[in-house]
A and B are shown apart, each in its own frame.
Chain A
Amino acid sequence: MELSVASVVRELFNLNAKQMQWDVAACTDTGRLRPMNEDSYRISAEQNLFVLSDGLGGAAKGEVASAMAVEVVVASMREDASAAMPGEFVSRPELTKETNLLVRAVELANREIHEQGMREPACRGMGATIVAARICGRRLSLVHVGDSRAYLFRAGTLQQLTSDHSLVAEQVRHGLISHQQAAVSELQSVLTRALGTEQSVEVDAAEIELFPRDSLLLSSDGLTRMVPEDEIAEILTQAPGVGIAAERLVNRANECGGHDNITVVVIRIKKSFQEWFATFFPWCGANLV
């Protein structure tokens, strides 16, 4: 088991501080049945960027694909945030520039994995899922492909921010089966989208506003298929810090069977200075929070 904790504190005394301060911890484990860990994750503190990828076990070299996915996304975001978009990339007008960059980074990762698969016979047909989150000021940019998920834990409520690109999710969306039926379906492993399997991929993107004390959870399906959501919420409520939360989530997935590799990234938005201020001086702080 691997555990990393990083913490960023910025502009503590700047009342107009726009960048949210956060704590993060990640934990990954092979699980109990699989011979190796094909999940990958990367945290880039200076970019406020968090990336998680699950290599597809059925395909050859899933671990290569997931490592490439997170590397390419982090590198392309670092490289040149202001570079002009390549010709074939069509930016979406409804999204901010930051989110468009993240979408482009994932499209690049798709292309590189696909090309590697064409070049190397051992890597033919390899694939991976991806979920990537970036915090810009108060805004969260979130993109994903496949069945790795992002959740927002806010006010004691766990909310799923991604829709799985899987056959069962598609069936639920069309009202053919229920949430509960989907959770026990035999077809859970069938994905409708993944990185690397085709030349281009459709990337889902979302933007939400963050508030102090929000927690964000990125996870591979090794967690979400093993541990029910109310237990995930309970662990996030009770854990005093992100490191303990991440570790407990992985341990719980193993206790529930650990059928697949498990990776979680837990990000907690810190209580802002303004909010502390408001606690003590509510009459003048109410509108600062």
Chain B
Amino acid sequence: MPVLIVKFEGSVLQKVSINGGSITIGRGPDNSIPIDNLAVSNHHAEIRSEEGHLVIQDLDSLNGTFVNNQRVKRSALKHGDVVLIGKHSIQVDEKSQGESPAAVNRPSGSVSSGGVKVAPKVDETFILDTEKRRTMMREIAAAGERSQITSRVRVATLVRVKGPIEKAEYQLTGKLTVIGESEMATVRLRGWFKPKMAAQINRRDDGYYLGRGDRVPKVNGKPISSPTLLSDGDLIDVCGVRLRFTIPE
């Protein structure tokens, strides 16, 4: 069943299936594809299926109907053709399957998520300008303060409970904290036959995850089987060192 894909400035507005009948396009609300734009006539064009072929007929519109950038009065349409009416384009897709006959309307207006209002969703990536971004960041930060959930943006600390390590406390500011004998390790293990990289902690958006290295660390006495999200007060055991994970509330 052929489908007409109506687009405006790159985003899909509507998909319309042609089911034998005819489809009218125009500014008037009685059209099957209404386009609210002054460049479009009230009854601008009509697309019909004639003996299995799609045909477009311009209904004496003021600004014309274009197929692949050629102005047409009447023209057959094939797969891939692009019809231009005003600033809207209609792409012919004859290979589409399983599309429901009902028109699929994209949401319009603004959607709200987490208290943040943004423009309607589009498939394309877009960037917020400075002003919009500042406003949004403020809103997110404010929402974070209000919510009961602990804000994860805070920096965690490892506190030594026992074992041969240099410092009493380690701030986990980096994306990756290595516990091991390596001279570049954040938490540097001392002594003979310690692994270069015994365990590692990955700081992610939603918190700190402990993962294995050359050893399998324990969290609260249990060996981990996969990266484990740490919570405040957790005890980590690795290579004879015990550390307490603390994150400010």
Q: Which A positions have Cβ atoms within 8 angstroms of B?
A: 54, 56-59, 127, 138-139, 147, 152, 154-157, 159-164, 167, 169-179, 182, 185-187, 189-194, 197-198, 206-209, 211, 221, 259, 286, 289
B10 at interface by CB-CB < 8 Å: yes
Residues of A within 8 A of B196 (CB): 211, 289
CB contact between A192 and one of B123, B133, B197, B227 (< 8 Å): that residue: B133
CB contact between A206 and one of B122, B149, B175, B206 (< 8 Å): that residue: B175
Q: Which B positions have Cβ atoms within 8 angstroms of A?
A: 10, 111, 113-114, 116, 118, 121-130, 133, 136-137, 140-141, 143-144, 147, 149-153, 174-176, 178, 182, 184-185, 193, 196-197, 200, 202, 204-206, 209, 211-214, 226-227
A171–B140 touching, CB < 8 Å: yes
Which 8 A-B pairs have CB atoms at the shortest separation, nearest pair first?
A174-B144, A58-B124, A175-B149, A209-B184, A157-B211, A159-B202, A58-B126, A172-B205
Residues of A within 8 A of B127 (CB): 56, 58-59, 127, 190-194, 197
A175 touching B151 in the complex, CB below 8 Å, given contacts A57-B125, A209-B185: yes
Residues of A within 8 A of B214 (CB): 155
Residues of B within 8 A of A198 (CB): 129-130
A176 touching B149 in the complex, CB below 8 Å, given contacts A171-B114, A171-B140, A189-B122: yes
B152–A174 touching, CB < 8 Å: yes
A190–B118 touching, CB < 8 Å: yes
CB contact between A191 and one of B10, B126, B141 (< 8 Å): that residue: B126
B125–A178 touching, CB < 8 Å: no
Residues of B within 8 A of A139 (CB): 184
B212–A156 touching, CB < 8 Å: yes
A-B pairs under 8 A by CB, number: 154
Interface of B is mostly: loop
C-alpha gap A147/B125 in the complex (Å): 10
Instruction: Give the Cβ gap from B170 to chain A, nearest Cβ, in Å.
Output: 15
> Which residue of chain B lies nearest to A188 when distances are taken between CB atoms in the complex?
B125
Instruction: Give the Cβ gap from A278 to chain B, nearest Cβ, in Å.
Output: 11
B126–A189 touching, CB < 8 Å: yes
CB contact between B150 and one of A175, A178, A191 (< 8 Å): that residue: A175
A155 touching B213 in the complex, CB below 8 Å, given contacts A173-B152, A179-B205, A191-B127: yes
Residues of B within 8 A of A155 (CB): 197, 200, 211-214
B140–A187 touching, CB < 8 Å: no
Residues of A within 8 A of B122 (CB): 58, 189
A208–B113 touching, CB < 8 Å: no
A208–B149 touching, CB < 8 Å: no
A187–B118 touching, CB < 8 Å: yes
8 new A-B pairs (CB below 8 Å) besides A56-B124, A182-B205, A192-B133?
A59-B127, A160-B204, A161-B176, A163-B205, A172-B205, A174-B153, A175-B151, A176-B143
Instruction: Give the Cβ gap from B99 to chain A, nearest Cβ, in Å.
Output: 15
B114–A177 touching, CB < 8 Å: yes
C-alpha gap A177/B202 in the complex (Å): 19
> Which residue of chain B lies nearest to A175 when distances are taken between CB atoms in the complex?
B149
Residues of A within 8 A of B126 (CB): 56, 58-59, 189-191
Residues of B within 8 A of A154 (CB): 197, 200, 211, 213
C-alpha gap A187/B137 in the complex (Å): 14
A159 touching B211 in the complex, CB below 8 Å, given contacts A154-B200, A187-B118: yes
Residues of A within 8 A of B176 (CB): 152, 159, 161, 206, 208
C-alpha gap A69/B144 in the complex (Å): 34
C-alpha gap A177/B211 in the complex (Å): 23
User: Can you list 14 A-B contacts (CB < 8 A)?
Assistant: A56-B124, A58-B122, A138-B184, A171-B116, A174-B152, A175-B147, A176-B149, A190-B128, A191-B125, A192-B128, A197-B129, A209-B182, A211-B197, A289-B196
C-alpha gap A174/B133 in the complex (Å): 15
C-alpha gap A163/B152 in the complex (Å): 13
